Structure 1
Amino acid sequence: MDFLYLQHRCAIKKDYPNLLDITAAGHLLAYETVYDGVREIKEEIDIDAAFDELVPLVIIQYYQTKEDFIDKELPNVFLYETAHSFDDFTLQPEEVSRLC
């Protein structure tokens, strides 16, 4: 049986709390490349994955302005196929409240 997991963002997140998001998402530092982003998988759901195991899906140009907040991103979205069960994930509670 195949599943697509989304994360429910923690209620204390500054940006977009309590909303669904792609699982294991994060921001790169100025000197990092998209390859460095694989660390977010380990940090947020405690799964070791190599970049070459990811299947590229899309790069989204995203721009949102709200009051005093500007969110301008270029998210690279990947698919990670795994045999891990739901119980194999250990969530980073300050980032992810649950997977669904």
Structure 2
Amino acid sequence: MLLTTLMTLTLAADPAPVMRVQATGLNLARRADAVVFAGRVAEQSRAFCAVHVERITPEHVGDPRFCERGMARETLHVLPAEHRAAFYRAGGRRVLTRLQR
């Protein structure tokens, strides 16, 4: 019990880093905008993981792609469902996958 409390306090004192990707002004149903957003997600996940890989994916520190792909997946997951679906239909996911190779 004490260990759990100490771990909770440690985590509360050191909040998890947050990755943000700008999507304002983009219509993810348009292919060109989906491509722009995919590029931003790839770039931000690369930059974010360059700094936070040890904290986000400590078991995969030697392979930053694991962190980058996970953060990209989380970014898409927090999009409203209709925006995420539009992004997929416009081919944004395929572009993102190519950018993360």
TM-score (norm 2): 0.24
Q: Which has the higher strand share?
A: 1
TM-score (norm 1): 0.24
For the pair shown, which has the larger CA radius of gyration, 1 or 2?
A: 2
Q: Which has the higher helix share?
A: 2
